[in-house]
Amino acid sequence: MKPKSWQIKALAGVVSGLLTGCSLYVPMLPAAPQIRDKGQVEIHGTSFLNRRWEAGVTYSPAKYVLVRAAGGIRTNRGSDSAYARNRQYELAAGGYYPLGRRWLVSGLAGFGQARSGYAYSTGTDRGNYSMGETRRYEARYNRWLAELAGSYTDNGFTLGVAGRLTDVRYNALTFNSQPLGLRRLPRFEPMVFCQLSRPDGAVPWLRGQVAATASAVLNQRLTTNPPAAAAHLMEAVPCLTISVIILPHLFRAASQ
């Protein structure tokens, strides 16, 4: 049985989204820290494979307590009619609780801000717009967030899941330089991740991570005018990421 044309287009869209993740709203990767004791630190560097990068630091100043700071940038600049750019940061605090030697749960809540721009030239697959028309979105928004994560680790391999609720509140939102009426857009952002490390190797302080995440709107009601301009803001944002994780608290153990 041959796949239908719409199924092929849908699959192509998902694959393209995982590799590029271009949209006006730019989700940040859930933290899902693997910290298990006071004094431990994680430094993340993440690539989204589309000229978009993130970096973050998570620290445990006291047993079961977490603090975190992270920032991201996207510099995909093509031309005046096609570009994607973003700068953002977030601050969060929360806690963790090890369940034995292998299981770990954690939670964080925090606040972030972002400035984002996205433009593209329309075609036949971008709605009922004239061919070649340029459509530009610009936004400044605040973000309140809360996330939960759980993971299982065995012999240097970690498999985990995380879920983040993000309340996006637009301070400014324009379409082709005209204000849009949308002020708030709650989103749900799940993640599945795996990490690899060699605790007994030459670099126990280094880990690699691969994660798949997405951001989907919780409230699908269109509150802007015209609806066609708002529809783009409601699109799901899938992402595929690769991260390098450094654990400074293990530097001394590696030197010994």
The predicted pLDDT at position 220 comes to 59
The predicted pLDDT at position 158 comes to 97
Q: Quick one: 236 exposed, middle or buried, by C-beta within 10 A (0-12, 13-18, 19+)?
A: middle
Q: Two tokens at 151?
A: 């993971």
Residue of 138, 139, 153 whose CA lies nearest to 106? 153
The CA–CA distances, whole Å, from 231 to 5, 127, 223, 226 equal 23, 10, 10, 9
- For the stretch 122-154, what's the b/e string if a residue is b when 16 or more beta carbons lie within 10 angstroms of its beta carbon? beeeeeeeeeeeebbbbbebebebebbbbbebe
The predicted pLDDT at position 10 comes to 39
Domain regions of the chain by residue span: 63-196+211-243
Q: List per-residue pLDDT tens for the chain, 256 residues long.
A: 455 443 443 344 444 444 445 678 999 999 999 999 999 999 999 998 877 899 999 999 999 999 999 999 988 766 666 788 999 999 999 999 999 999 999 999 999 999 999 888 776 444 444 456 788 899 999 999 999 999 999 999 999 999 999 999 999 999 888 888 888 899 999 999 999 998 888 899 999 999 999 999 987 565 555 556 777 778 888 989 999 999 999 987 655 5
Question: How does strand 82-99 pair with strand 157-175?
Answer: unpaired
Residue of 89, 70, 78, 90 whose CA lies nearest to 22? 78
Q: Two tokens at 191?
A: 């993640």
